Amino acid sequence: MKKYNASVLRQSAKRWLIVFAFVMLISFTLLVYRLVDLQVVRHDQLRGWASTNIVRTNVLEARRGNILDRRGNLLATSLFVKTVCADPSIIGSYQPQIAHAIAPLLEMNEAVLREKLTPKLFENDQGQMRTNRYVVLRRKVPRKRWEMIRAALEGMDLGENENGVSRRKKQFLRRVRKAVFADEAEDQLRVYQSKRLASHVMGFVSGSDHKGRAGIEAVLDSKLTGTAGWRVTEADAKNRELVWARRQYVAPRNGLNVMLTLDSVVQHIVEEELEKAVAKHKPAGITVIVVQPKTGAILALANRPDFDPNRPGEFHAAHRRNRAVTDTMEPGSTFKIVTVAAAIQDRVVTLNSIFDCERGSFFYGGRRLRDHHPYGSLSVEKIITKSSNIGIAKIGIRVGAARLHHYLLEFGFGQRTRVSLPGEVRGTVHPLKKWNKLSITRVPMGHEVAVTPMQMVMMLSAVANGGKLMQPMLLDSLRDESGRVVVKYHPKAIRQVISPDTARKVTVALKTVVGEGGTARRAKLQYYSVAGKTGTAQKAGLGGYIDGKFYSSFIGFFPADKPALCIFVGLDEPTGDYYGGLTAAPIFKAIAERTASYLVIKPDLVEQGSLVSRREGR
């Protein structure tokens, strides 16, 4: 019996050994299969999953470049900003304390903030009840402000004696303080230091992608934007960066800084005078442009109405329109400059040539042309002085339609000036074949054409510059962060329209406009000679000219014989007085006097020593 039992036990043990060996074999086979599957078959897939969990790729935003004036004064800059968020599920019942601590720093109403911090239940797509764990409290919060918020959260009173609570409670309260956090990804905030100053030149950026949408911001968007960088690294279980495990780091290349030809002080002067003009004349709009004739550099450009580029969405689209390049008007009598320049250049008249102005009434082509005063015989110079429509029409007839049309195009009308601003229009100069029998008498006095303020100021700048037409210049240079010049812009001459001698003779005539008997006596300066011309054009509508609506302007340069500045002033539909000599000319004078003093332009009407003594004796 014992012998039998021992034999059975040995056989049973052998069977169990075989079973065990078989199980082990299967197990090792499965293990090997699993290892092959993980290490060979699914290696790339699993490696990608693992990288997703531990590898972080952070995009490093490039800072948008600054915009500066010609003297290096900051006009626009960008700040890195945070998006401040909260997890209401952690905050629980502590939202009153948190709202009270940080509402002033977030510039939010405390009650509104408390509502945002209150936990709310909702049902997800699977029908499960969830609470809101991510709420955006405020976007575009500057870094310094975020640091202040963090300090306020750390120091706020939660209404409990934290020294006497359990360790677990302390950890919970620590989590409550960190329930308000900032997103890791940073945004940028565009800041225009002087608010509305030169808003139509600056333009603005969109709030969503920080891209330029108008003005210089749009024209040079690619240069201002820069190039983003990135950092590839690994993180631990607590999502903390392992600096030693960084795999790749490419620093961002910040955008270039743009230096303009604008002078912020001149711009301030212009805009202050525009505000006074708006209050006095209540026009639908005003435009002023200040240019250096020799280079075409724009020192100031302003329109009213305007807008604040820090918050462009709060203003009507019409306020954001840059009237200096997007709006056209019939120029009226300021256009007589072109007609006289053409006639003198083609030698069909001299300044002393006499024309009969028909005592204020002239029939041509079956229509009557009138003057505002009944003049008899006037010289070409006096026709400019008195701004005679009949006189300038007869000069135009002598020049001829073909040659007059030629000079319109030569002075840049009907073409874009190519100033570095978006939205510029060509204006209107009808082809010669579309001129009617009256056109030769109407175009010379600024009818049947449509021009922009920019075209007008560059036309007179050409006269001031010895007949050479320049391209308007708004960009001085592009510079990197260290101030090194990357791109330098230079003055660009377009063409020689009239000879220097013709330009000098036209200047002689224009100087009489601000003298006795001229139409712009209110533009006369005490210490500087001025050459200029007034314009008062009745506005055209679909059915003809509109009663009571005028575009009044004055355009001039000084000192007349050695021009430093050319200034255009245009008022759209002024109320009350509407003649250019009564509305635009005084604005020109105010801007010219203040700007000349700031730029220390040498007087040409008195000796400098005499001027100093007069000032000291005031």
Residue 12 is predicted with a pLDDT of 77
At residue 455, does pLDDT exceed 60?
yes
When the pLDDT of each residue in the chain is averaged and rounded to a whole number, the result is: 88
Contact between 351 and 505 (Cβ < 8 Å):
yes
Contact between 91 and 262 (Cβ < 8 Å):
no
Peptide bond into 422 cis (omega under 30): no
Residues of the chain above pLDDT 70, percent: 89
At residue 252, does pLDDT exceed 90?
no
Backbone angles phi, psi at 118, to 5 degrees: -75, 130
* pLDDT tens-digit map of 155-197: 887 766 666 667 787 788 888 888 888 887 778 899 999 999 9
Between 112-116, 163-167, 351-355, the lowest mean confidence (pLDDT) is in 163-167
Angle between helix 95-106 and helix 143-155 axes, rounded to 10 deg: 150
Distance CA 578, CA 571 (A): 9
Cross-strand partners of 289: 301, 568
Burial bucket for residue 106 (CB in 10 Å: 0-12, 13-18, 19+): buried
Helix spans in 37-142 (H): 43-54, 88-91, 95-106, 110-117
Residue 173 is predicted with a pLDDT of 80
Residue 464: alpha-carbon gap to chain centroid: 29
Helix spans in 205-299 (H): 215-219, 221-225, 264-281
* pLDDT tens-digit map of 483-534: 999 999 999 999 999 999 999 999 999 999 999 999 999 999 999 999 999 9
Between 12-21, 173-182, 255-264, 364-373, the lowest mean confidence (pLDDT) is in 12-21
Helix spans in 220-366 (H): 221-225, 264-281, 317-320, 323-326, 336-345
Residue 3 is predicted with a pLDDT of 52
Cβ neighbours for 241, distance < 8 A, ≥ 6 positions apart: 56, 233, 234, 235
Cβ-count burial 174-193 (b if 16+ within 10 Å, e if not):
eebbebbbbeeebbbbbbbe
At residue 443, does pLDDT exceed 90?
yes
Residue 608 is predicted with a pLDDT of 44
Residues of the chain above pLDDT 90, percent: 62
Cross-strand partners of 488: 477
Q: Where are the beta strands (DSSP E) in 339-431?
A: 354-356, 361-364, 367-370, 377-379, 428-429
Distance CA 592, CA 288 (A): 12
Cβ-count burial 555-572 (b if 16+ within 10 Å, e if not):
bbbbbbeebbbbbbbbbb
Phi-psi domain of 280 (left: phi exceeds 0; alpha: psi -120 through 50; beta: other): alpha
Residue labelled with tokens 């203003």? 315
* pLDDT tens-digit map of 119-165: 887 777 676 767 777 888 888 888 889 899 999 888 887 766 666 66
Token code pair at residue 196: 């509305």
Between 124-133, 222-231, 247-256, the lowest mean confidence (pLDDT) is in 124-133
Burial bucket for residue 554 (CB in 10 Å: 0-12, 13-18, 19+): buried
Helix, strand, or coil here: 87?
coil
* pLDDT tens-digit map of 549-589: 999 999 999 999 999 999 999 999 999 999 999 999 999 99
Between 29-43, 67-81, 282-296, 577-591, the lowest mean confidence (pLDDT) is in 29-43
In order of 451, 503, 523, 536, the CA distances from 554 in angstroms are 14, 19, 9, 9
Between 38-47, 381-390, 574-583, 589-598, the lowest mean confidence (pLDDT) is in 38-47
Q: Which of 399, 368, 395, 373 is nearest to 386 (CA)?
A: 373
Cβ neighbours for 584, distance < 8 A, ≥ 6 positions apart: 534, 535, 552, 553, 554, 569, 570, 571
